[in-house]
Each structure stands twice: as C-alpha cells, then as structure tokens.
Amino acid sequence: MSSNLVLHKDAVPVPLTVPTSMREAFINNYLKATCNTGRLLLFAGDQKVEHLNKDFFGPDISPESANPTHLFDIASKSRIGAFATNLGLVARYASDYKNVRYVIKLNGKTNLVPTQQADPNSCMWTPVQQVVEFKKQTGLDIVGIGMTVYLGSEHESAMLAQAAQAIYQAHQNGLMTTVWMYPRGKAVQNERSADIIAGVAGIAVCLGADFVKVNAPEAADSFESAQLLRQATMAAGNTRVICAGGQSKSEKEFLQALYHQIHGGGAMGAAVGRNIHQKSTQEAIKFCNALAAIIIDDADVATAE
Amino acid sequence: MSSNLVLHKDAVPVPLTVPTSMREAFINNYLKATCNTGRLLLFAGDQKVEHLNKDFFGPDISPESANPTHLFDIASKSRIGAFATNLGLVARYASDYKNVRYVIKLNGKTNLVPTQQADPNSCMWTPVQQVVEFKKQTGLDIVGIGMTVYLGSEHESAMLAQAAQAIYQAHQNGLMTTVWMYPRGKAVQNERSADIIAGVAGIAVCLGADFVKVNAPEAADSFESAQLLRQATMAAGNTRVICAGGQSKSEKEFLQALYHQIHGGGAMGAAVGRNIHQKSTQEAIKFCNALAAIIIDDADVATAE
Amino acid sequence: MSSNLVLHKDAVPVPLTVPTSMREAFINNYLKATCNTGRLLLFAGDQKVEHLNKDFFGPDISPESANPTHLFDIASKSRIGAFATNLGLVARYASDYKNVRYVIKLNGKTNLVPTQQADPNSCMWTPVQQVVEFKKQTGLDIVGIGMTVYLGSEHESAMLAQAAQAIYQAHQNGLMTTVWMYPRGKAVQNERSADIIAGVAGIAVCLGADFVKVNAPEAADSFESAQLLRQATMAAGNTRVICAGGQSKSEKEFLQALYHQIHGGGAMGAAVGRNIHQKSTQEAIKFCNALAAIIIDDADVATAE
Amino acid sequence: MSSNLVLHKDAVPVPLTVPTSMREAFINNYLKATCNTGRLLLFAGDQKVEHLNKDFFGPDISPESANPTHLFDIASKSRIGAFATNLGLVARYASDYKNVRYVIKLNGKTNLVPTQQADPNSCMWTPVQQVVEFKKQTGLDIVGIGMTVYLGSEHESAMLAQAAQAIYQAHQNGLMTTVWMYPRGKAVQNERSADIIAGVAGIAVCLGADFVKVNAPEAADSFESAQLLRQATMAAGNTRVICAGGQSKSEKEFLQALYHQIHGGGAMGAAVGRNIHQKSTQEAIKFCNALAAIIIDDADVATAE
Amino acid sequence: MSSNLVLHKDAVPVPLTVPTSMREAFINNYLKATCNTGRLLLFAGDQKVEHLNKDFFGPDISPESANPTHLFDIASKSRIGAFATNLGLVARYASDYKNVRYVIKLNGKTNLVPTQQADPNSCMWTPVQQVVEFKKQTGLDIVGIGMTVYLGSEHESAMLAQAAQAIYQAHQNGLMTTVWMYPRGKAVQNERSADIIAGVAGIAVCLGADFVKVNAPEAADSFESAQLLRQATMAAGNTRVICAGGQSKSEKEFLQALYHQIHGGGAMGAAVGRNIHQKSTQEAIKFCNALAAIIIDDADVATAE
C-alpha cells in the first residue's frame, strides 16, 4: 500500500457507541477491512437475493458466475477488504474459505415487486447478536455488518429505526458497520440526483455508521459525477463514503470513475459486485487487484490496469 | 441403494450454523432423511392446509385419501426419506406411526384468497424451539423443519426474514432445513420461468437452507424442463434442489420427469404430495417405492416402474 | 348415557402435544366435557361479543335472555358438556356458578364491520397462560379453550398461527381445544359449500385441535346436509366435528338436524347458542336436555323431545 | 349519601380476576370511587387529548378552563368519585392535589382524523404495570384505570384484545376498571341507536369491566332516552353503566337527564367532562356537587340544583 | 443571566414520574439545560435526517454548514442550553465535544414522502434505556431526550403511545423530556392555526413532557402571532412551550419574534436549527449568543443584537 495512506490505529474514527472493552476489537476490524488505509474495497455478494439470478447467468456472464463458489473463490484470492453477503451463504461455504474477511448483510429483498406497485421494504434476516454468536462459534473473521435502507419509501422510518439499532448493537460488540443508502420509492423522482445522494449520505452519519454505500450522482461523465459526489462526502462527515459499482461497464471506465470518486469526490473506496463476479475467476481476481491498486495503493489508473 | 450414491458422513454438507455439539445430530438427520444418499424423497403432506380438501376428495381420488390416516399409512410403509406436515397433525397421529421420519412444516395458508386479490403471506404457526421441545417430549424421529416463502409477494421480505431465522435456529439444534421457494404475487408474470426459478433457488442458499423445493421450469417436455432446471441447481450451490410433483400426471410421465430432473437437471430428489396420496394405500406405496428406486437406488425408469 | 357410547379413558384421543405429566388432566377434561361419551354438547355463549345484543333482546326472544345471568342459569342447570364464553364474563359471574364446566373463548370481534368492507380478523383477548393462571387462582372447572379462525380472510394466516400456538399451549397445560372454523372473506363465495367446510375441518386437524365447530353444509334438507357433512368429518380425522346451531328454527327441526348430523354425517356433537338462550330459562333447560339426550344418550328424536 | 344507597363491602361485585390477596384493595378502591354507594361520578379529564383545545378555550368557556390546573382544582374541591385522565398529566400536577382519587386513562387519540378518512384506533400509552409502579412510587390515590374501545372500527378487535388484557392486569393488581365503549367507524350508521349501545355495553361485561361508559340512546327527550337505555343496563349485567355527559346543555336539562338515566334507565352514575370544566371553578364545583347529590345522595333534581 | 430569571432548584417542576432517587439528577439536568433560568435555548440538529442536505448546502448557506462538525463547533462555543440530535451523530463526534450538553432525538424520518402520498410516521431509532446506557458508558453530558409526534396523522396514536412511554422511561432515569408536536397529515388543513397549536401543546402536558416545541401560529406579524401563542402556553400548563425557528429570516426579525413569543406569548425559549447553522461558525455563535441574551438574560432585542 502507498505509505501515505497508512492509517495509524489511533486515527481510526471510533464512535462512542463502541465501549472501552471493545475498542481494540473495533480498531482491528476497521484496519483489517481497510487494509490499514482507512479505504474500503467491499466485494458485494448480496445480489443473489437482491437481483435474483440475472446477475449470475446469461450471455455476457462468465459461466463460472453461476456457482456460488465463484464468489468465495474471488474473495479468497483477491486483495479485497471484505466480502459482504448473507449469513446463510457464509454458513454454507466459509468452512472452505476461512481466510476471507466477512461483512454480514443483515437484511434483504428481491427486485420482483416494482416500486410503482409498492414501496420497497427490507426486513432484518439476522439480528446482530446472532452474528456475534456465529462469529464466536465458528472463529470466522467477521469484521462487520451491513444493511440497506430505502429512503423515500413509505417504510423508510421503520428501516431507519432498525438500522440505528443494528449499528448500535454492532458497535457494542466491536463490529464495523456499513449502510447501503438508496433513495427509492414512488416519491423519489431521481435516485441519482446529487442533493438526494448527499442527503442520504448525511443520514448515515446520523445513524452512526462507519461507511455508507451510495450510487455516484448522475452527470455527463465520471469526472463531473465525482465533483457532485463531494457534496455527499462532506455531508457524511467522518462516515466514509464508498460508491456502488452499478451496471457493468468497461474495466478502464470503471477504474477511471473510481479514481475520480476518490480523488475528485472524496470517496474512501468502493463496493463492487457484478463488475467483479460476472468475469471468470482469473479475470475477476485481476480486476479486483486493479481496484485494490487504486483504493489501497493509491495508484493511478494506468498503474492499476 | 446404488453403491455409487453412498454419502459418507464426512461428505454431508454441514453448514457452520450447526454448532460443534450438534454436528453429529445434524449429520444423522441428514443421512436418515436422504437414506444415506444425499438425495431426498420428501412426502409432502401439508396440502390439507394449502389446498383444503380438494386434493383429498373427489371423483379421481381414492376414497382412502379422505382420511388423514392415509398419509401416515403411506409414510409408514414406503421407502420415503421423510414425511413433511404440520406439527398439529403429527401430534394427533404419530403415536401410531413412530417409525416415520418427520419434517415439521412451520408455516401455512390456504389457497382461498387469490393472488389478484392480495399477495400471499404465510405466517409461522410453530417456532423452531417448539419443534425441539416437542421432539424431546415425544421421542419422535423429527429430522428437520420446512417453510414456504413466496418471492415476488409484497410480504416477501418478512417471510424471508422468518425463514432465515427458522433455518438458523434449526441448525443450532441439529435439524435439517428445507424451504419451499415459490415465485408468487401480482408482480410475478410467470411462476415457471427458468430464470425466476433459478433466482429463488439461489436465495435458498443465501438463507442457508439444506434443501430447496421448487417447481420445474416450464418447457415443451420434461427433458427440456430438466435442462432449464440446471440453472437453478447451479444457483443453489450446495443447497440441494428437489422438485415439486405438481399436478397429477401419469406415473410413467412422472417417473420420467423425475429421472430427467436428477440426471439432466442436477436435482437431488423430489417432494411429492397428491401424486402419491390420491392413490389407494397400496398403489401409493408402490409409487413411492418407484420414486425411491429412482432417487435413492439411482435406478432408471424401466427398472423403477 | 347410552352404554354403547361410554368412552374409556384409554380411548380418549390424546395428542402428543400433551406432555406425560398432563395426560391425566387432559383425559379428565375431555371426559368431563363429553360426559364420558366422546361427544360434546357445547353451550356457546360468546355471541354477546360476536352478535352484539340482537341475539339477546327483541320481539321473539325471552325477556330473561337480556340479562347475562340467563346464560349461567342455563349452563348451571342443564346437561351440557361445557359452557363457552369469554374469560371476562366468567370472571364476573362464575363465583355463583361453580358447578359449570367452562371453555374459555380466547378471541373475539363484533359483526359491525361487514365482510364487503374489510375481511374479518379476530384478535386474541386472552393468552392461554392466563387461562391456566385464572383456573389455578379460582379453582373453576375450566376444561378447555376455544377460538375462531376465519379462512379465506386476508388475515387468515395470522389467525391460523395464533390458533396453532394456543392449541399447543393449551395441550401443554392439559386443556382441551375447540376451534370455530368459518370460511369468511371477500374471497369466499359460499360459506356453506360442502367442500369448503370439509376443507376448514381438515385444517383443524392440522392445527391439532380436539374439536372443530363448523356450519353444516347447505342442502335441500337436513338429511342431505348431513350426507354432505360426512366429507368434513372424514377430513377432520380424529379431530371431532361439532355443528353450529345457526339461526333459530323449530325445536323439532333442530333435533332432527342434529340427529342426522351425528348419525348420517359423523358429527360428534353440537355447539348451540341462540337456539338455547333465546328461550326462557325453563324452556332452555328443557331444550338443552333434549339436545343432551341425542348427543350424550344417543336417543332418537322422538325420545329426546 | 342516602342511607338506602350504602353499599356494604360484601356486596361489591368483585370479579374472579381479582386474586384473594388483592380482594380487599379492590373493594376499597371500588367503595372509594363510588363513595360507598356503588354509583360512580367520574370527572372525565381526557378531552385535552381527545378533543384538543376546543373544549377548553372559546367564547362560551370560562377563561379558567384554559389552564390544566382548572381540572385539578375542580377535582380536588368537589364531591366526585374519581378524576380520570392521562398518567402524564397526573404526573405533572398531582403533587399539589394529593386528595384526589385518580383513574388513569390508558389510551388516547385526537379527533383530527375524521372517521370518513380512517377508522379510529386508540393505542395504549401506558401499560397497567406502569400504573401500579407509579402508584407505589408516588403514594397517589389511584383507584382504577380506563380505556376507550371503538366498536365497528376496522381496528376494533385489536382494541378489544388490549382492553381485555388491561382489565385482567388491573384486576390482578386490585384496581377498578372502566371502559369507554363507543360505536364508531365507517360501518356505524348511528352511534346513538339503542340496540348498538346495548350491544357495546354487553361487550363490556364480556371484557370483565367494572363500569362501562356509554352515550345515552338518541330519543325525543331524556325520559325516552332513559327508557331505551334500560336495554343497555340489562345487557351489561353486573358491569355498571355510566352515561357520558355529551355536548353542553343547560344544567337543569343535564340533571334531569341524569336523573332519568339512573331512575328510568338503570344507570349507576355518569362520566362528565366539558359540562363541568367549561364553567368557572366555583360554578363547576357547584355543578359537580349537584351531580353528586343525584348520584351519591339519590336526590331528586329540585333538591340537587 | 438576569437575576430575576434565576430558577431555584426547589422551583423546578419535577413530574411525579421522576422517582425520589432520580430527583436530584433530574433537577440538575433541567437547570443545566435551562442555564438555571427555566428557559430553554435548544439548538436543533436533527435536520440532516428530517430535511436531508438541503438545509446544509446551497447558494445561501455558509460552506461550513456542509460538514457535520459545524453543528458541534457551534454547540461547543455558544451559550446554548442543549444541542439536540441523533445518538448516532453524537457517537461519531462527541469525543471532541465533551463540553456540550446533549438532548438525544429518539425518532426520525425524511421529508421525501409528501403528506399527500402518505401520512407521516416517525419510528423510534433509540430506546431510552440505550440513552441511559450510552450516557453511562461515555460520561457525556446528556441532559434529556426528545421526539417528534405528528398529530392528525393516521399513525398519531402509535406515535403518542411511543412518546408517552419514552417520557415515562426518561423521567424514571432523571432525564428531561421535550416533544416536537406538529399537526401534520391529510386531515390537517392548517398546521399553523392557533387553536390546533394550542391543542397539540395541550397534549404535551398530558404526555407528561417538560418542554414542547411548536410552530408559532400564523398571523399578520410576530406580535400578533405571539398573542395567539398564549392560548398554547396556557393549554400546556407547566409543560414549557418553546417555538421552532422555522424558515430563514433576518436576524433582527427573528430576535423580535422570539422576544414577542416570550413576553407576549408566554414561551419559555426556542428551538432553532437552520437559522443558526446555515451561517458561518463565527456568525452562528454570535447569533446563538443573541438568542441566549433574550432567552437566558431576558434582554431586549436592541441589547441582544
């Protein structure tokens, strides 16, 4: 990693909801997840629930992607910060992938019901206390938890309350927290407008989250998008913003956008899913490592490629 | 059973949600339910709730089917893996059928309210802890639990959360788990499309389930359907896929379809209800045994018949 | 009672949800409620909630019916099996009626909101544990509990779940259970069709109930209705079917219908409310005893009258 | 008080939900609230929630009514049985009004949302256990609890269940209970029809309540209204009926109506709010004492005035 | 502070829900929050949730406002009574701002869903017990809690119940309580009408709150508005009324309105957010101190400016 990115353990932003007895555990989790840089490359593996199988099987997708082991193979062999997915999936595969750092995604829903029919609601599959118990029983390297909140949904306040509770409980147990903040619902005109994205990033810090995953604002190009993102990274304060990968694009475009998000927009990493796992294992690992070069080594795009 | 199907106890896919102290119990339940093969013939007996009495009484149905004992008689005298039904029904009859292996179906609803009127919701009748207590009090051979989840329903996320919890609790107590994953709701155009079925099978592994029951994809014939099913068995990973029997068809067609599902589609068994219990006890036992020949003995259709 | 109806205590169908330590208590309750015959004459007194005051006051109703004591006077002086009503009403009067056997009705709603406006939902007023506590505190002869489930209502699954739990808890405490199973909701075309009634009776056995109260199927006359009822009594298996009294009719017609329900339809008793309590105390007792003659003494109509 | 109204402590209707250890406490509360007569003059002070400020401020209302102390001043200096209001209001003022007997109103809602928009629902602000704890901590003379149930609302069954529980818990702790039973909802054509009022009074006794507050039936005059009320007082049995004061009318008319309700309709008191507190303190006390004369002293209207 | 405003500790209105053991703690919190005057200058910092980022970033807003530290810088360096915001935000920043007195805002929602689409509902993010635990773990100077209730919303009764519980629990733990009472919902024609505002202020005292934040009534000018406010301050009794700052206006207008609210309307302070934090830190501190001069020092506008 670039020496100028080294995050000293005293510089980790430890929220006061982490009790003294859990302070060291929290700092360790934070540093592991961010590879000692404060920047997070989160490999997102909750799309089997959120997007069903369309992200994993099809004409432009590597056949390897069809099998869940693909996700774990990539997570195990790449320079990612952590792999985020459901506790159930971890339970079924992690005995063969003990070197992976895991973030447990606590809630979930599919994309079958369109927003026009009903505003989105995502219920908690797993209480934090169960994650703690599971970590203890298995000895897995679970560094944190995550959950999605749909702002602008008629159910937003219930989801916000659940997120606030999950974050509090996670901190009480020394776990790092990431919230997926998505504006979505009949009331949301444009999910990618810069001010809405800044708004939901600002709510993440009010929830006490350590990281917030948002979509980058809509703009003419990724440079301009990153400029607009700065509003969100300011609003989020010491909650670090990471951008979602979004729909598949060329590797170069992706890396360029990521570079802008970090250097122009103040992002502190990325959460990438289909742009990684739709490739063959070998290609995916290579791409992950390119992402890691930019995020963790502070490389430029030419070096990272 | 065919010697090439023998599943060694070390090869049972034990999820990490099974604690060490329950590992042996889980393996025993898994091997008993699958007759030491890893393949599951589940005799489904929850239709008295789901389909009311129309599956049990009518012109083309054996008169024996009208009495609940019929289900237990078949379960007791056939080579099935396990008999799945509600705890209440088990409580009323199992004292006379102690040799049967039971799977307790935890939730349920009728088919009276059509999807056009309201999206389906199935509530938990029985918490897992009660199944554990009931097993202890009665000494019955309860090997697992099951529940239905309707994906694409406006209530899907609540059902998913309940399923995740039930699976976690079952594993904590050494019980095997099966989820009935059905795409259903106003938002679901085609419940039998291959990609949707693969999608819901993929969610089952994210829930941590051991087996997932799905309907076979719609296709011109059962051979093609089985080819399409392969997407689902891949998506489900080490969660094993079993196919629902569906509406009554000829025995030969049924066996042929099952054979294709296993050998063409990667299925690891079947969950069959009305195609069994609508026959006379003698015919039902004979048919169960034919199913067992294909599933457990790895026989071909001609041999099984 | 007719000697051929004597139910030996070893022949009582004890569900496995009754633990060994409660087995004797359960058998005693069952035999008391059925007057040692296995047949149940349940005097239904929950209509003050379900039907408001119209069943108790009006031109064709005995003035005595207007006062709640009327119900208790009848229950106390007739040969009924048990008197079913709300815990609150029992609490206010039973100190003067300690000889009555009580069934506590756990849930309730009025008939003010029509089905066209909203599907019916009946919430639990009283948890089973409270019934157990109340029985212990008062020494009253509470033999069981009951509740209503509306199948075909959009709330059916929640009610089913509550019923399953109440039955389990009641059995754990040695109490007998009765479910009122009514098809009702916008989705229900005909509440009195034979197959629907058989369907809901079949669900009662899946819930684990000891008795199920249904309406007799619609037919040209009570003889034919009883023939159609047989589908339900078969579907219910060892859960015993009792028929609701329904709207007021002549005593002779009522007794004739009851006789047919038992001897033609396989019913094991009746749950009667307004046909009893709308009469004067003396007439009501006389009519109860006629019902008892048919149910408990196995008399014919001529003898019973 | 009139000697013919003396209620001996052995004549207090103690429900069986009051355990032996709480029997004396219950009897004391009942006798205190009814001034040893069995009749209850309840000064209702929950309108600040139910009616907002319109009952307390305006052209025809005494300026004193604008301040909450007005309610306590009246309660403290009049011959009322008990003063019913929210725990929060009691907490803020009762340290200066320790001589008052309090009934804690457990639930509440405003009148802002009209019935045409949404059926009424009143949630529990305060669990009974908290009332018991509060009474113990403060030493206040809290004699009972109360709550409103809207029958005919789509939420009625949930409110009924909460009321049944609150009454049970109150009795377990020796507290007297009063239910406000109001027919209200889109399904209710006429909230003042005699049979509906009798119906909801009949439900009160099924809930186990000690007193039920209803509106008097609509009629040509208060004499006829009282005749119609008799159906309700019969239906309520040993749950005593008290009538709501309703909209402001002349003192004489009010007293005359009350006299008829008691002597013609079988009422056992009244619950009066705005007809008291909209007057100046001095006038209000005088009017309370006139009400007390009729209720507690069994005076006629001329004497009471 | 002006000597005539000194509130002796014996004059603090301590509700009876504060147990004796917590009385001193409550009085200390009350006096600290009100700077020993009984008047409260609450710096409101929950708009990042309620208003998203529009209050914090834009053409007329100081660039400093974009960063959450801005709020804490102001809170730390001004003469405010307390700073009200979400527990999560406090957890992320308060280690650097230990001198601030905090009020934890317990619930929250965004303004994305318009009232025309769905009536507002604000869920509890943080239970009071957690605030107590957090205060103990961190040693932060948390003096109270707050929450918003939307009266006239179809969800009002659920919010009222939650508020009543939060206030009770806060008092049990010696914390001061403030409720934001906003009339809002499809049923509310005019959120700023004087009688509605008096109504919701009157509910606050029934909830037992110590302070109630309302909007000042609509009127031709701030003098008239303050006259109309008097109805609310009377209705609220010994629950003290503080006015919301509302939309940005000139400093002089703001101070003038505040002066009228206190001296004409009986208000006991103000809750101000965007009128403070949209300024630069230096300007904001200066303005806070002007507010403090009027509220705490009882200064006139000319002196305060």
Segment E145-153 mean pLDDT: 98
- Strand ranges for D132-262 from DSSP E: 141-151, 176-183, 211-214, 240-244
Chain E neighbors of A205, CB-CB under 8 A: 48, 68, 88-89, 92
Could you tell me which chain C residue has the CA closest to the CA of B86? C206
Contact B238 A92 (CB under 8 A): yes
Helices of type H across E208-300: 222-235, 251-263, 274-277, 281-295
- From the CB coordinates, do chains C and E have 3 or more pairs under 8 Å? no
Q: How far apart are CA E204 and CA E182, in angstroms?
A: 11
E47 close to A (CB below 8 A): no
Q: Which of C107, C125, C129, C94 is nearest to D17 (CA)?
A: C94
Per-residue DSSP letter, E53: G
> What is the mean pLDDT, run by run of 10 residues, along chain B of 305 residues?
80 98 98 98 96 94 96 98 98 98 98 97 98 98 98 98 98 98 97 97 98 96 96 98 82 95 97 95 97 96 93
Which pLDDT tens digit goes with each residue over B111-153?
A: 999 999 999 999 999 999 999 999 999 999 999 999 999 999 9
What is residue B249's predicted lDDT score, i.e. its pLDDT?
74
Pinpoint the alpha helices (H) of A139-280: 156-172, 194-207, 222-236, 251-263, 274-277
Q: For residue E42, which amino acid is it?
A: L
SS (H, E, C) D63-92: HHHHCCHHHHHHHHHCCCCEEEEEHHHHHH
pLDDT above 80: residue A146: yes
Mean pLDDT computed over D26-47: 97
For residue D305, pLDDT beyond 90: no
Residue D69 contacts by C-beta under 8 Å, 6 or more apart in sequence?
A: D93, E237
E156 to D108: CB separation less than 8 angstroms, yes or no = no
A17: phi then psi, degrees, rounded to nearest 5: -75, -10
DSSP class of residue C278 equals: T
Residues across chain A: 305
Model confidence pLDDT, tens digit, residues E106-127:
999 999 999 999 999 999 999 9
List all chains that touch chain C, counting a touch as 3 or more CB pairs closer than 8 Å: B, D
Answer yes or no: do C237 and B93 touch at CB < 8 A. Answer: yes
Residue type (1 letter), E260:
H
pLDDT digits (tens, 9 = 90+) for D221-234: 999 999 999 999 99
- Asked if E182 contacts E153 with a C-beta cutoff of 8 angstroms, the reply is no
* pLDDT number for residue D11: 96
C-beta of residue C203 within 8 angstroms of C-beta of residue C157: no
User: Mind telling me how many Å the CA of A108 is from chain E's nearest CA?
Assistant: 20
Candidate from A53, A118, A125 with C-beta closest to B202 = A53
CB of E186 within 8 Å of any CB in chain A? no
Bridge partners (DSSP) listed for residue C179: C147, C212
- The mean pLDDT of D152-170, rounded to a whole number, is 98
φ and ψ of C19, to 5 deg: -70, 160
* Residue whose structure tokens are 């009536």: E119
Tokens 């999560």 map to which residue? E88
Would you state the pLDDT for residue D3? Answer: 59
Catalytic: which of D182, D186, D252, D279? D182
Alpha-carbon distances of B124 from A55, B94, C160, C164, C175, rounded to whole Å: 31, 21, 9, 9, 23
Q: How far is D292 from D81, CA to CA, in rounded Å? A: 8
Please list every residue in chain A whose beta carbon sits closer than 8 Å to the beta carbon of residue B206. 46, 48-49, 85-86, 88-89, 108
Angle at A60 between CA A57 and CA A64, to 5 degrees: 50
Shortest distance between the Cα of E222 and any Cα of chain A, in A, equals: 32
Strands (E), chain A: 40-44, 82-86, 101-105, 107-108, 123-124, 141-151, 176-183, 211-214, 240-244, 269-272
Write the CB contacts of E4 (distance below 8 Å, at least 6 apart in sequence): E298
- Strand runs labelled E in chain B: 40-44, 82-86, 101-105, 107-108, 123-124, 141-151, 176-183, 211-214, 240-244, 269-272
By annotation, the residues of A acting in catalysis are 182, 213
How far CA C190 is from CA of A179, B112, C183, D283, in Å, comes to 50, 12, 8, 61
**C251-263 and C281-295 are packed helices; what angle lies between their axes, rounded to 10 degrees?**
20
| Among the partner residues E95, E108, E130, nearest to A168 by beta-carbon distance | E130
| Torsion angles phi and psi, residue B129, rounded to 5 | -60, -30
Alpha carbon dihedral E202, E208, E212, E218, in 10-degree steps, equals -10
pLDDT reported for residue A134: 98
In chain E, what residues touch A228 (CB-CB under 8 Å)? Answer: none
The pLDDT tens digits of the residues spanning A148-207 come to 999 999 999 999 999 999 999 999 999 999 999 999 999 999 999 999 999 999 999 999
For residue C244, what is the enclosing H or E element? strand C240-244
- Closest residue of chain A to E85, computed from CA coordinates: A206
- List CB contacts (< 8 A) between A83 and chain B: none
Residue whose pair of structure tokens reads 């039904």 in the numeric block = B85
Sign of the torsion formed by the C-alpha atoms of E135, E137, E138 and E139: positive
CA–CA gap between residue A195 and residue A174 (Å, rounded): 32
CA-CA distance, C82 to C97, in Å (whole number)? 12
Query: What are the chain D neighbours of C123 within 8 Å (beta carbons)?
Result: 157-158, 160-161
Task: Find tokens 């209000």 and name the residue.
Answer: D284
The sign of the CA dihedral C183, C187, C190, C196 is: negative
Give the catalytic positions of E in this structure: 182, 213
CB A106 within 8 A of CB A128: yes
Q: How far apart are CA B184 and CA A110, in angstroms?
A: 12
pLDDT digits (tens, 9 = 90+) for A205-260: 999 999 999 999 999 999 999 999 999 999 999 999 999 876 657 899 999 999 99
Q: How far, in Å, are A17, C258, C292, D215 from residue C35 at the CA level? A: 64, 18, 10, 45
Beta bridge partners of D213: D180, D242
Residues of A in contact with E52 (CB under 8 A): 195-196, 198-200, 202-203
Facing residues of E104 across strands? E85, E145
Question: If pLDDT is split at 50, 70 and 90, which confidence band does E62 have?
Answer: very high
* pLDDT the model gives residue B3: 59
Q: Which helix (H) or strand (E) holds A88?
A: helix A87-93
Cβ distance of E156 and D48 shorter than 8 Å? no
Average confidence (pLDDT) over E273-302: 96
Closest residue in C to D171 (Cα) is C91
D and A touch per CB criterion (3+ pairs under 8 A): no
D177 in contact with C, Cβ within 8 Å: no
Taking the C-alpha atoms of residue B38 and residue A119, their distance in angstroms, rounded to an integer, is: 41
pLDDT digits (tens, 9 = 90+) for A9-45: 999 999 999 999 999 999 999 999 999 999 999 999 9
Q: Which of E55, E102, E104, E125 to mutate to test the interface with A (most CBs of A within 10 A)?
A: E125
The two structure tokens encoding residue C183: 């098809």
Q: Give residues 69 to 88 of A whose Cβ lies within 8 Å of B.
A: 69, 85-88
Give the model confidence (pLDDT) of D174-218 as tens digits. 999 999 999 999 999 999 999 999 999 999 999 999 999 999 999
DSSP lists the bridge partners of residue C102 as C83, C142
> Which of A16, A206, A227 to mutate: most E Cβ within 10 Å?
A206
pLDDT of residue A51: 95
The average pLDDT across E10-26 equals 98
Please answer whether residues E218 and E192 qualify as being in contact, where contact means their C-beta atoms are separated by less than 8 angstroms.
yes
Candidates D157, D195, D233, partner chain C, best to mutate (most C CBs within 10 A): D157
**Helix (H) or strand (E) run with residue E135 in it:** helix E128-138
Question: CB under 8 Å to D12, separation ≥6 — which residues?
Answer: D26, D27, D30, D31, D38
Q: Residue C249 has what pLDDT? A: 74
Q: Are A227 and A263 in contact (CB under 8 A)?
A: no
Which among C241, C163, C155 has a CA at the least distance from the CA of C201?
A: C241
Query: For D180, phi and psi rounded to 5 degrees?
Result: -85, 110
Taking the C-alpha atoms of residue A295 and residue A201, their distance in angstroms, rounded to an integer, is 20
A178: DSSP letter: E
d(CA E128, CA E222): 36
B/e letters for E118-154, b = 16+ CB within 10 Å, e = fewer, are: bbbbbbbbbbbebbbebbeebebbbbbbbbbbbbbbb
Q: Which residues contact A252 (CB under 8 A, 6 or more apart)?
A: A301, A305
The pLDDT value recorded for residue C3 is 59
Q: For chain C, say whether B150 makes contact (Cβ under 8 Å).
A: no
| Test the C interface: residue of B71, B122, B125, B142 with most C CBs within 10 Å | B125
Percent of chain D beyond pLDDT 90?
96
pLDDT at A263 > cutoff 80: yes
pLDDT value of residue A5: 87
Q: What residue of B is the nearest CA neighbor of A131?
A: B17
Confidence band of C248 (pLDDT split at 50, 70, 90): low
Q: Is E124 on the interface with D (CB under 8 A)?
A: no
CB–CB of D251/D282 below 8 Å?
no
Q: State residue A3's pLDDT score.
A: 59
